[in-house]
């Protein structure tokens, strides 16, 4: 496994075979990250407790999706991870939101300055306006099986807060026809309004 997945980026899962509980993660080096979990090195404590209780042989490791070659940013990887976090109900994950853990990281003053500069350059006024425009649009949440309207949100930002999801996830599922969290459909129009 280490050889095949070395330097490969993607989303993975550790699946408990008896309970269907799952840990979802992502890494820019799947082989290294999988081995960290197996060796209990910088691993999720819930997953480690479950492995200690049930035994590693009762878990399966799956690569859920590889990061496409045309994606170069860590945010792309986190978006993929978020897709799978939204799919599974019973998880060993602490957070419902995919994010890079930087707990305990220490940065030099120069590194802090460069990171700040990079954020400013990447988050232009135009980008701020795009995000603001997206979040201020109304949104409709439907039950996927019956297409019954569950709730109308006057702003997408309300749904982001209420369901504790990222705005990127909302944009991804809105009007896509894909089922969100195995039970919802998100649309920007009433379904009976047509397209």
The string of pLDDT tens digits covering residues 79-96 is 889 999 999 887 888 777
Q: What is the pLDDT of residue 136?
A: 75
The arithmetic mean of pLDDT across residues 8-27, rounded, is 91
Q: What is the pLDDT of residue 150?
A: 94
Residue % of the chain over a pLDDT of 90: 19
The string of pLDDT tens digits covering residues 109-167 is 887 787 677 667 666 777 677 767 766 778 899 998 888 999 999 888 888 888 888 87
Query: Is the pLDDT reported for residue 104 higher than 50?
Result: no
Q: What is the pLDDT of residue 13?
A: 94
Q: What is the pLDDT of residue 103?
A: 41
Provide CB contacts within 8 A for 191, sequence distance 6+: 140, 142, 147, 149
Alpha-carbon distance of 185 to 153, in angstroms, equals: 13
Longest dimension (CA), the chain: 56
Using CB atoms within 10 Å of the CB of residue 172, give its burial: 0 to 12 exposed, 13 to 18 middle, 19+ buried.
middle
Q: What is the pLDDT of residue 167?
A: 75
Q: What is the pLDDT of residue 75?
A: 75
The arithmetic mean of pLDDT across residues 96-115, rounded, is 68
- The residues spanned by each domain of the chain are 2-87, 132-193
Query: Is the pLDDT reported for residue 58 higher than 90?
Result: yes
Pick among 3.20.20.70, 3.40.1440.10, 3.40.50.720, 3.30.70.2190: CATH of 2-87: 3.40.1440.10
Instruction: With both helix axes pointing from N to C terminus, report the angle between 125-135 and 156-163 in degrees, rounded to the nearest 10.
Output: 80
């Amino acid at each position: 496994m280490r050889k095949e997945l070395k330097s490969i980026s993607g989303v993975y899962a550790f699946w408990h075979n008896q309970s269907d509980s799952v840990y979802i993660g992502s890494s820019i080096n799947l082989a290294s990250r999988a081995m960290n979990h197996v060796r209990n090195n910088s691993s999720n404590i819930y997953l480690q407790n479950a492995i200690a209780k049930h035994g590693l042989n009762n878990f399966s490791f799956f690569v859920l999706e590889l990061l496409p070659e045309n994606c170069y940013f860590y945010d792309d990887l986190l978006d993929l991870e978020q897709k799978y976090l939204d799919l599974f109900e019973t998880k060993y994950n602490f957070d419902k939101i995919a994010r890079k853990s930087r707990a305990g990281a220490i940065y030099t003053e120069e590194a802090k300055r460069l990171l700040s500069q990079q954020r400013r350059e990447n988050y232009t006024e135009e980008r701020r306006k795009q995000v603001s425009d997206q979040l201020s649009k109304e949104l409709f949440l439907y039950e996927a099986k019956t297409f019954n309207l569950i709730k109308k949100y006057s702003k997408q930002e309300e749904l982001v807060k209420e369901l504790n999801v990222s705005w990127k996830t909302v944009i991804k599922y809105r009007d896509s026809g894909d089922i969100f969290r195995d039970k919802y459909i998100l649309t920007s129009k009433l379904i009976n309004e047509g397209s």
